[in-house]
Amino acid sequence: MSELRWDPLKQHWVIIATDRGRRPRDFQVEPETGTLTNCPFCYGNEDKTPPEIFAIRPDGEPNQANWRVRVIPNKFPALRIEGDLRTRGYGPYDVMEGIGAHEVIIETPDHDRQLADLSLPEITDVLIAYRTRILDLRGDPRFRYLVLFKNHGKRAGSPISHSHSQLIAVPLTPPVAATELRVCQEFYEAKERCIFCDVVQFEIAEGTRVVREFGNFVTVTPYASCFPFELRLYPKRHSYDFALLSDAELMELAQALKDMLCRVKSVLRDPPYNFILHTAPPRQQRLGKPEYWGSIEYDYHWHIELVPRLTQIAGFEWGTGFYINPTSPEDAAVFLREVELDFV
């Protein structure tokens, strides 16, 4: 059973995932990585995972080989699908059961190819799997926010080297999303514009932090980057919900995403990285309160955020929430722009 616990001093919820029960010695060994023969994400090992939720395969039965993208429940989920959403008090704290969903998107059957290495049709398939699972999980009214993210490399938190992403549905709006959703709505109420549209237009006009434009997409190094070589990928035209993109739009996004991943891989020699998709929650789930539902189509702007894991989060950053970045985003953009790519 996992549990959500509220810290009244820090004002945040934490997931205590005791199912994963880590003892001191578990932190002293490197986690095992799969090999071609025993990796549960490889062809032929479909029975080593829980039954699939979704797959893209030309034909054939579920849970057999011959798939291109496969989505399964996480075998050690941080949150479970069954349980009770009510919170209860415990001394000065609050606690609730750890309700949610935790899925793994296996991006390719090939053990040795990472997302950046896949072809454009293959990356488009991955994006279609993202869209499909997001639309499905939105049907559960208990989930208030969906977090789609990828950890690449051990130092970015991925013990399994076979390329995959994750989708976690949570029963409350996480703090980073809550701030973003509130800022967008307040800006819209004051100015009747999308704040992200302002930022994107300013960055394109300014140019010093633009890494690449690709049709309707632009990749920039954020002005107030917390980490060296941080990147954001925005649609240029206003678009609030990733899950509403057409297949043609996902094909264009696949190009922009592959371009971003290949530049990072080239400049920083295949660093560990994390990326996360920020997209609008279903309007009636926005911050859980009707007063926030109104304008989400107009005020929010979906995007992807990527951070290469080059530096350690040290005492200062963790203790203050205040980041020190040793590489200016303008310098990072110069290095990232210089890469010559030949895939398109």
- Tell me which residues are annotated as active site: 164
197 marked among binding-site residues: no
Give whichever of 12 and 66 is closer to its own copies, judged by the CB atom: 12
Instruction: State both tokens at 4.
Output: 């959500």
Distance CA 200, CA 236 (A): 7
162 marked among binding-site residues: yes
Q: How far is the CB of 112 from its own copies (least distance, A)?
A: 22
Q: How far is the CB of 226 from its own copies (least distance, A)?
A: 5
DSSP annotation of 125: H
Distance CA 281, CA 141 (A): 11
Q: How far is the CB of 157 from its own copies (least distance, A)?
A: 2
Distance CA 170, CA 96 (A): 12
Give whichever of 203 and 259 is closer to its own copies, judged by the CB atom: 203
Contact residues for 146 (Cβ-Cβ < 8 A; gap 6+): 134, 137, 138, 167, 168, 169, 170, 279, 281
Give whichever of 49 and 325 is closer to its own copies, judged by the CB atom: 325
Give whichever of 216 and 327 is closer to its own copies, judged by the CB atom: 327
Distance CA 16, CA 7 (A): 12
- Give the number of C-alpha atoms closer than 13 A to the C-alpha of residue 78, restricted to the C-beta side: 14
Contact residues for 5 (Cβ-Cβ < 8 A; gap 6+): 13, 14, 16, 93, 94, 95
39 marked among binding-site residues: yes
194 marked among binding-site residues: no
Burial (0-12, 13-18, 19+ Cβ within 10 Å), 339: middle
Distance CA 50, CA 215 (A): 39
Which residues define the annotated binding site for Zn(2+)? 39, 42, 111, 162
Which residues define the annotated binding site? 39, 42, 111, 162
